[in-house]
Amino acid sequence: MTVLEEDLPTGRQVRRWTRHRSRHHAEAGISALLGDIYTAFLSIAITASMVLSLASTLAPKDGSPARGAIEGPGLDPGWLAVLPALAATAALVGLVARLGPLALSAAESAWWLPLPTERRTLLRPTAYRWPGVAVLVGGIGGCGVGLALGARPALVAAVAVLGAATNVALVVVAGLTQTRPRLHRSLRLGADLGLAVVPVVGLLLAFGGWAPPPLSELLFGGSGLVIIVVIVLTVIWDGRLAKVPGVSLRSQGAAADEALVAVLSLDPRGLGRALAARAEPSRRKRSLTMFWLARVPPGRRPEAALITSDLLLFLRTPRHVVQVVLAGCLPVLVLATPKPNVAALAITFVAAAYIAALATAEGARRAQVNPALDAALPLDQHEVRRFRLVFPSVLMLLWAMVETALLAWRYGDPGGWVLLGVLVAPAWAAAAVRAAYRPLPDFSAPQIYTPMGGLPPGVSGIVTQGPDVALIGSVPLIVALILGKVSTPVLLLQVVLTFLAVTLASWLRQRPGPPGTTSAPG
């Protein structure tokens, strides 16, 4: 080793110097951090107490239950803990494959990578962030599974250790495949498929009537074996940290930075784009001639082209098709329980409908970012938004008819439930389109300081554009679920709320422009 190499700092020394200088230039000290943590926990505690108090106030005093569902298939309560734990593991692996597990931010890449120092100790603390998250997710999930299955404390601890070790092993495997892009993409695809299969497996378990296997003493041996595997994989991964190319560190770090910025700016659309971004170039798909548009009257071809573009974009994005199908499986899981809980069914139904509707409005989301197609068509912005509602409304109409038919299977009155589904479907589509066209928060304005950091004024109103329409438009459905039947006032209320939702989604705020010019869409 030359004298020059002996004088070079190690990766650990570079990190220590960077941490020291960052702390030296920081404007807030440890007291400010502790104060923010205290304020955040206090806000959570106050919110929880208010929710519990409101729930106890609204609970019926006479104990008279609403009309219940008829007897149906039984999903063992134990599976209600096992399936979410498996889904959380698959979601964690998919997230790790997208954002890491080894990545550097733009600033870290620009400063650290060109330095003539060894990278193993430089990257080691960054590499162990995701395994730490995996321990937390796996431990909580395993503990929940053990408690749901009624195991004794020793077995609950064994399940928690097994869950944590399994999650860490999967994260380390993702790290080992980071230098092999094809295997890394296969792991990401496998995690997405695993997450998609969980609701389907739940349906098979419900209609098959299978109970979860009992926990046995073999869990102790299984936990020990998985821990040994984790240790071996971690040692191998630690030895290969320096072999991860800088291109991979920068690309994964760019995706993580984009996701972090989207979270801090409360931009779900940006978060979705960051998580859906591919590291490899997408294949070019052959364009269609759209010969069927020649049969449309010339005066209606722009509208037909807009609707066709939404349809083709949906069909060319398989994850959106899968998203609609899986969203339809979520209410079925609740309906498959022997006695469906009304609150759980209502929350699941509304959330699943909004998730499915979001998958149908990709065209509107892309048009908000790049309105090239909208500007090329001879349509004003009001007409564009109205016709952007057509495809989501048709698809959500089919989705709602299937889901409400299942409600009729459990609660009776097929005509009433299906009619309610037909009336509520356009409201869900309007919620997705409204969310797609919501503006970005204005961070140039004076910030409002909160325990979560500085937020621009009006950000809460921007974030709730879309979910507000979905929730308000679903009020008649929630009332019908509470009553256990569909009445005429409920249908009339649904007609009014759907009309208001569609009007609100197609409404375009105009902001005044300079004198002598037309107003631009807001």
Confidence of residue 195 (pLDDT cuts 50, 70, 90): confident
pLDDT on residue 201: 85
Element holding 192 (H helix, E strand): helix 181-208
pLDDT on residue 152: 80
pLDDT on residue 49: 58
Lowest mean pLDDT among 40-49, 416-425, 511-520: 511-520
Question: With 0-12 CB in 10 A as exposed, 13-18 as middle and 19+ as buried, what is 406?
Answer: middle
Q: Is the pLDDT of residue 276 over 60?
A: yes
Report how far residue 473's alpha carbon sits from residue 405's, in angstroms, rounded to the nearest whole number.
Answer: 19
Mean pLDDT of 419-425: 93
Beta-bridged to residue 453, according to DSSP, are 450
Beta-bridged to residue 520, according to DSSP, are 511
Mean pLDDT of 223-246: 88
Sequence-separated (6 or more) residues with CB below 8 Å from residue 480? 417, 420, 486, 487, 490
Mean pLDDT of 460-480: 83
Q: Is the pLDDT of residue 372 over 50?
A: yes
Residue showing tokens 């779900």: 268
pLDDT on residue 51: 44
Mean pLDDT of 80-85: 82
Lowest mean pLDDT among 108-112, 202-206, 223-227: 108-112
Report how far residue 109's alpha carbon sits from residue 111's, in angstroms, rounded to the nearest whole number.
Answer: 6
Q: What is the mean pLDDT of the chain?
A: 78
Lowest mean pLDDT among 25-34, 481-490, 497-506: 25-34
Highest mean pLDDT among 3-12, 311-320, 340-349, 352-361: 352-361
pLDDT on residue 452: 53
What SS3 state is found at 516? coil
Lowest mean pLDDT among 68-82, 121-135, 324-338, 428-442: 68-82
Mean pLDDT of 56-65: 44
What percentage of residues in the chain have a pLDDT greater than 70? Answer: 74
Which has the higher per-residue pLDDT, 40 or 340?
A: 340
- The one-character DSSP state at 104 is -
Contact between residue 103 and residue 226 where contact means Cβ atoms under 8 Å apart = no
Report how far residue 311's alpha carbon sits from residue 307's, in angstroms, rounded to the nearest whole number.
Answer: 6
Report how far residue 332's alpha carbon sits from residue 403's, in angstroms, rounded to the nearest whole number.
Answer: 8
- The one-character DSSP state at 454 is E
Q: What does the DSSP assignment read for 14-81?
A: HHHHHHHHHHHH-SS-HHHHHHHHHHHHHHHHHHHHHHHHHHHHHS-SS-PPPPPPPP-----TTHHH
pLDDT on residue 446: 66
CA angle, 92 as apex, 91 and 93 as ends, to 5°?
Answer: 95
Confidence of residue 218 (pLDDT cuts 50, 70, 90): confident
pLDDT on residue 123: 83
pLDDT on residue 399: 94
Report how far residue 371's alpha carbon sits from residue 373's, in angstroms, rounded to the nearest whole number.
Answer: 6
Contact between residue 334 and residue 302 where contact means Cβ atoms under 8 Å apart = no
Contact between residue 498 and residue 426 where contact means Cβ atoms under 8 Å apart = yes
- The one-character DSSP state at 291 is G
Express each pLDDT in 36-60 by its tens digit.
666 656 655 665 555 445 444 444 4
Confidence of residue 265 (pLDDT cuts 50, 70, 90): low
Mean pLDDT of 77-99: 85
Q: Domain ranges for the chain, please list them.
A: 77-276, 301-441+452-510
Contact between residue 389 and residue 506 where contact means Cβ atoms under 8 Å apart = yes
Confidence of residue 461 (pLDDT cuts 50, 70, 90): low
pLDDT on residue 421: 92
Q: Is the pLDDT of residue 315 over 80?
A: yes
Confidence of residue 171 (pLDDT cuts 50, 70, 90): very high
Contact between residue 382 and residue 433 where contact means Cβ atoms under 8 Å apart = no
pLDDT on residue 483: 86
pLDDT on residue 233: 92
Which has the higher per-residue pLDDT, 284 or 13?
A: 13
How many Cα neighbours within 13 Å face the side chain of 511? 3
Confidence of residue 209 (pLDDT cuts 50, 70, 90): confident
CA dist list (Å): 283 to 27, 278, 365:
48, 11, 21
Contact between residue 196 and residue 160 where contact means Cβ atoms under 8 Å apart = no
pTM, full prediction: 0.71
- For CA atoms 294, 300, 301, 306, the dihedral sign is negative
pLDDT on residue 447: 67
Mean pLDDT of 350-376: 85
pLDDT on residue 513: 41
282 φ/ψ angles, rounded to the nearest 5 degrees: -75, 150
